[in-house]
């Protein structure tokens, strides 16, 4: 309901592309089934609706056949033009028939350095395979992004990672956010004796987040996942450095399919964003997490102004903000980013208007709580 993507999304698209049916309890208490042929309008509007159309009680989804391990290749690349082009190539953004690997991910450590990871499902049968196995989620192991960073010096490498551990690779350090909480957390001694405590449980973090702490994270940190066209990857990195100067940053390629106009909250990709000959455009998640450079250097940093500028860039290039994160748009700007045409019709048709808050009302700025950046936001 809130949408999402993984390092497999360059093949499968956003999560909703794998859903074949939703069972939803509507505002009038009735239970309906939504598929591509039954209540099709509801089926198209549910993704990115964040529970504002009904209660999701069951779904049917497609499965992908897997193997016990992921054979992960680490490729360090220097030069922004080179690593951006390599990400586009291995993800299939340049050629719909390119034999793309099962997983593609890039961690960008600076404007000039990145490590691109490609993974394939595999078995572990030979002695050589067994020697390559790395249990990356064990409590005493280096945080994954630090492990990845080491290949900038080591050069290319290949490992076998148990599939479940690969899927949880960023958990212990919450990507790299824990370093801001516990600067010594990746120290080998700390990891050995206390690494089992990580990551902090979300319930614990929520329980201990006072309004003061929330205000600090609101103004002194950035937590954003943004869906942007891969044709603009270089500009994404440039604007991240200009507005946040926050590294590392994460890039996951992702298909965004053209389902036609007014077919959900996402608009069809623009013609120049489409993969040649395909029914999808190649976008990517830009993950920006942590403390911006100006804050680390104790320089002035206007979080609202920076995010407003990032949102404008996102709208201009035809991208989308993930709505779990803080947004700073007024309703007019929100309506420019997302296509609410079908959504508004579905709210009326399926009894959501009087039972559930509007999508914007669920995710709009918490301006009444924090009184931050009022000159930049025009709330409803």
> SS3 sequence, 247-268?
CCEEEEEEEEECCCCCCCCCCC
Q: CA triplet 61, 65, 71: central angle to 5 degrees? A: 130
Whether the pTM exceeds 0.85: the reply is yes
Omega of the bond prior to 248 within 30 degrees of 0, cis? yes
Task: Find residue 23's DSSP bridge partners.
Answer: 33, 58
Closest CA to 42 of 55, 254, 61: 55
Contact 337, 315 (CB under 8 A): yes
Rounded-to-10 torsion of CA 32, 35, 40, 41:
70
Pairing verdict, β 69-78 and 157-162: antiparallel
Q: Give the contacts of 243 (CB within 8 A, at least 6 positions apart).
A: 306, 307, 309, 310
pLDDT of the chain, 380 residues: tens digit per residue: 888 899 999 999 999 999 999 999 999 999 999 999 999 999 999 999 999 999 999 999 999 999 999 999 999 999 999 999 999 999 999 999 999 999 999 999 999 999 999 999 999 888 888 889 999 999 999 999 999 999 999 999 999 999 999 999 999 998 998 888 888 999 999 999 999 988 877 776 666 666 655 666 667 889 999 999 999 999 999 999 999 999 999 999 999 999 999 999 999 999 999 999 999 999 999 999 999 999 999 999 999 899 999 999 999 999 999 998 889 999 999 999 999 999 999 999 999 999 999 999 999 987 543 454 444 444 33
Q: Rounded to whole angstroms, how far apart are CA atoms 40 and 323?
A: 24
Q: Rounded to whole angstroms, how far apart are CA atoms 233 and 85?
A: 9
pLDDT per position as a tens digit, 222-276: 999 999 999 999 999 999 999 999 999 999 999 999 999 999 999 999 999 999 9
């Amino acid at each position: 309901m809130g949408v999402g993507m993984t390092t497999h999304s360059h093949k499968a698209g956003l999560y909703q592309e794998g859903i074949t049916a939703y069972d939803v309890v509507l505002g009038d208490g009735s239970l309906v089934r939504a598929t591509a042929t039954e209540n099709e309008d509801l089926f198209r509007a549910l993704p990115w609706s964040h529970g504002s159309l009904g209660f999701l009680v069951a779904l049917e989804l497609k499965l992908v056949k897997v193997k016990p391990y992921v054979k992960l290749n680490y490729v360090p690349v220097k030069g922004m033009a080179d690593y951006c082009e390599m990400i586009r190539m291995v993800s299939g953004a340049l050629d719909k028939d390119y034999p793309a690997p099962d997983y593609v991910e890039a961690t960008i450590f600076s404007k000039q350095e990145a490590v691109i990871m490609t993974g394939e499902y595999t078995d572990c049968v030979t002695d050589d395979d067994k020697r390559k196995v790395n249990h990356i989620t064990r409590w005493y192991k280096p945080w994954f992004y630090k492990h990845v960073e080491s290949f900038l010096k080591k050069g290319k490498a290949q490992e076998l990672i148990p599939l479940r551990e690969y899927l949880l690779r960023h958990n212990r350090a919450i990507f790299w956010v824990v370093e801001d909480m516990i600067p010594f957390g990746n120290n080998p001694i700390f990891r050995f004796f206390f690494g089992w405590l990580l990551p902090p449980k979300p319930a614990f973090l929520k329980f201990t987040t006072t309004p003061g702490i929330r205000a600090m994270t609101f103004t002194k940190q950035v937590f954003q996942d943004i869906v942007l066209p891969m044709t603009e990857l270089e500009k994404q990195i440039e604007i991240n450095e200009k507005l946040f100067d926050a590294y590392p940053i994460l890039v996951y390629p992702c298909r965004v399919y053209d389902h036609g106009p007014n077919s959900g909250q996402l608009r069809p990709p623009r013609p120049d964003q489409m993969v040649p000959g395909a029914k999808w455009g190649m976008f990517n998640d830009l993950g920006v997490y942590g403390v911006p450079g100006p804050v680390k250097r104790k320089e002035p940093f206007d979080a609202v102004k920076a995010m407003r500028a990032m949102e404008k860039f996102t709208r201009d290039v035809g991208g989308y903000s993930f709505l779990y994160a803080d947004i700073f748009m007024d309703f007019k700007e929100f309506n420019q980013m997302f296509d609410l045409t079908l959504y508004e019709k579905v709210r009326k048709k399926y009894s959501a208007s009087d039972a559930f808050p509007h999508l914007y009302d669920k995710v709009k700025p918490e301006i009444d709580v924090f009184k931050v950046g009022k000159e930049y936001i025009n709330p409803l």
